[in-house]
Each structure stands twice: as C-alpha cells, then as structure tokens.
Amino acid sequence: MRRPLVLAALTLGLAAPAAGAATLPPRAQLTADRKTLIQLAEQGMEQTRANWWNAKAGWYDGTRGDDSLLATLWHSYPLVAATAAVAIAHPTAANKQQVETIAKLAENFWDPTVGNGTGGVSWKWRLRDTGNAYFDDTGWWGLAYLDAYRATKNKRWLWDASRALGFIDRYGWDSGNGGVWWNVAREKKTSEPLAAGALIAATLYRVQHKRYFLDIAKRYIAWADAHTVNNRQGGLYGRSDVDGTVMDYVEGMMIGAHVELCDGTRVKSWCTKARELATASLAQFPLDANWAPETDVVYLRWLLRLYEKDGDARWYAVVYRNAKRAAANARDPQGFWSRHWDGTYGSGALYTQAATLELFAWTAAVKPPG
C-alpha cells in the first residue's frame, strides 16, 4: 500500500530562515536540528520506498503513482545518494543494508552492449542495444557508487565507480582537442561529465593512490582551467568551451574534486583553489538555492565536503540555511517532499523527493561548527 508518512512533529524548530546573510544559531540548536534532520531523512526514505517502488519491475518509478515509466538514471541518482547519506549520518546495520541493496540493483544501469561491447552506462534501467549513452549520466552513476563505498566500505562499489570513470575517459574524452563529450554520438561538449569525471578520479586517487586516477583528474581540471573559466563570473567554470554559463552543480563537483586532490596529494594549492571556487560561488549563486533540488543539492553537499576539510563555517551555514528552508517549505499537504525549497511547484518526481532527503542527510552527517 502506498502511503505518506506523518512527519509534522519533526519539523518543529526548523522554521525557514530570515532573509540576509547565512548565520548560525547556538551550538545547542544546531545539535537539536541535526537530530531532527536525520529523522526526517530516515522517515522520508521509508516513505519513498513505500510510494515509488515498482515491485513488478524491480526498480523505482520516476513519478509517484505512475508505473508506466521507471526512474531514469538522473531521477535515480539522488535516491542512491540519499540512501548512502542516511547511512553515513546514522550508520546502523539496517541503513547500511539499504545501501548495499540499492547499489546492487543500480548496477542494472550498466549496459554491456555500449562501447563496442566493452560496456557503459545507460540513461534507463536495463536499457540495451541503443548504441548511445550519455556521459553526464555516467558521471552521476560513478559518484553514486563512491557514496555507496563511503557508507559501506564495500570495495565492489569502488570498482563500479572506476568502470564509470573508464567509460568516460575512453569514449567521452576528446583525445584530439580535450574536453568531454555529452554523449557517445559526440553532439557537444559539456562540463557536467568533465566535472564528475574529475571528482570520481580525484576521489579514487585519494582512496587507492593509483597514478592513473591522479593523471585523469589533473588532465580534466587543466583542460577546464584553460578552456571553460568565465572570468566575468568570478572565475567559475562555464558550461563548455563555447558557453560560459555557470551552473552551481558543476562548481560543487569541481570544489569537491579540488578538495579530494588536496587530501590525496597533500598539496595545499588544491585546497586554496577549492576555497576560491566556493567563495566565488557564494557571490555568484543565490544564498537561497533556487534552481532545482536535484541540482542544488549537488552543489551544497560539496560545500559541506570543503567545510569538513577546512572548518570554515561559511560553507556549513549556507547548507544549513537551505536545509531549514526545505524542512519548512518543501513538504506538500500529503506529507511528501514534492515542492521546491521555497514552497513552489509540487510534483511527484522521485528526484525532487530524494534530493530534499539527501540534503537533510548530508547536513546531518557532519558535525556543526562551535
């Protein structure tokens, strides 16, 4: 039976923040809010499994109540990430098992028919024989497995992340001119798969210390530095070498890649660049994230990663502020997290619900300042 969960009592004390700079309440309030956020995330994940799971197909629906179309990889990425984030914030045996279960099922996005039979990542669960694949989807898939590894320490998920990176680098990287193609058909280049590839490679290098991963991360970042930096918008990375549009989730992944390289190489200049990107991002993007939950959470979670590294409360304060906004505004009258974080536009999309729960869990997973 599909049903919403009643969560009203848990949002007490998480009223939306007032306009102005991101500030933090006393430590006692932060600690209480952290407990509330993980409760919201855990109950929300239970709600998600009850209302989006398609038992006949063995995967999740993309829209609540509509069994006609399963969740695409982009719809599914926030769900896998949220499952891992909950287990990281509250590492119970049950939460870790949820990660193992969903990560194993998500391996069905791997299409062995792509790439001349060497395999690649499909945009649709169990899709085969299309001859095409999208490298931004591959990037989300690889990042999801890094989250699964962080939650469980199961090395199988590192292998999944590494084969996603291998697919991007072998078929997505333009060996002649550099940059990463959007898809196997090479229609255009975009920064999403490049940033995701850099982040996967940097994280794998930090964990496994293989030179191959370091070389990829440095190559991708060097190309982005040379071809996509938009100096009119604070030196942030643009959408491509021909489009200077800056997007918060690209900056978030590049912040994360630099932090991972800082940790993996112990070269402080990588951390310095991460801080520069974060400072420019705070100046460029609204304090109250307003693109979409599934994109904004990618940006915010990597700000948290920088906070974990350098302890700068500015990064935490922005994430905390948006978590409070979401807790206060994003739930619809049925009890689902279907709205954007300002309370507008409700939908039954899986990624809207999952991204908000992901935000709650990532915020709860780190110790607050003070």
31, pLDDT greater than 60: yes
Specify whether the CB–CB gap between 196 and 254 falls below 8 A.
no
User: Using CA of residue 272, residue 207, residue 308, residue 222, what is the dihedral sign?
Assistant: positive
For residues 275-292, average pLDDT: 97
Cβ–Cβ contacts within 10 Å for residue 287, how many? 16
pLDDT digits (tens, 9 = 90+) for 108-138: 999 999 888 888 999 999 999 988 899 999 9
Specify whether the CB–CB gap between 134 and 120 falls below 8 A.
no
Q: Give the pLDDT score at 3.
A: 40
Q: Tokens 């918060």, residue?
A: 248
Phi, then psi, of 123 in degrees rounded to 5:
-80, -15
Q: Give the pLDDT score at 4.
A: 42
For residues 155-182, average pLDDT: 97
Q: Give the pLDDT score at 206.
A: 98
pLDDT digits (tens, 9 = 90+) for 292-329: 999 999 999 999 999 999 999 999 999 999 999 999 99
For residues 221-246, average pLDDT: 97
Specify whether the CB–CB gap between 323 and 360 falls below 8 A.
yes
Residue 368 vs residues 12, 272, 308, 312: alpha-carbon distances, Å? 19, 22, 10, 11
Closest CA to 180 of 166, 163, 164, 197: 197
Report the distance separating Cα 129 and Cα 203, nearest Å. Answer: 31
What value does the mean pLDDT of the chain take?
94
Q: Give the pLDDT score at 286.
A: 96
2, pLDDT greater than 60: no
pTM value is 0.95
pLDDT digits (tens, 9 = 90+) for 197-227: 999 999 999 999 999 999 999 999 999 999 9
- Residue 172 has what DSSP assignment? I
Q: Give the pLDDT score at 5.
A: 42
Q: Which range, of 126-135, 255-264, 331-340, averages the lowest pLDDT? A: 126-135
Domain 35-365 has CATH 3.40.50.1100: no
Cβ–Cβ contacts within 10 Å for residue 169, how many? 21
Specify whether the CB–CB gap between 183 and 135 falls below 8 A.
yes
- Domain ranges (residues) in the chain: 35-365
Q: Give the pLDDT score at 10.
A: 47
For residues 66-90, average pLDDT: 97
Q: Tokens 């923040």, residue?
A: 17
Closest CA to 83 of 71, 101, 107: 101
Mind giving me the DSSP string for 280-296? HHHHHS-SS--S-HHHH
Phi, then psi, of 366 in degrees rounded to 5:
-115, 150
Query: One-letter amino acid identity for 57?
Result: A
CA angle at 303 for the pair 302 and 305, rounded to the nearest 5°: 60
- H-state helical runs in the chain: 27-52, 73-89, 93-106, 135-152, 155-167, 191-208, 211-227, 248-265, 268-284, 293-310, 313-329, 350-365
Q: How confident is the model at residue 249 (pLDDT cuts 50, 70, 90)?
A: very high
Specify whether the CB–CB gap between 84 and 144 falls below 8 A.
yes
Report the distance separating Cα 313 and Cα 368, nearest Å. Answer: 8
pLDDT digits (tens, 9 = 90+) for 33-66: 999 999 999 999 999 999 999 999 999 999 999 9
257, pLDDT greater than 60: yes
Report the distance separating Cα 109 and Cα 223, nearest Å. Answer: 29
Q: Which range, of 2-16, 17-31, 216-230, averages the lowest pLDDT? A: 2-16
Report the distance separating Cα 193 and Cα 205, nearest Å. Answer: 18
Report the distance separating Cα 59 and Cα 174, nearest Å. Answer: 34
104, pLDDT greater than 90: yes
- Residue 171 has what DSSP assignment? I
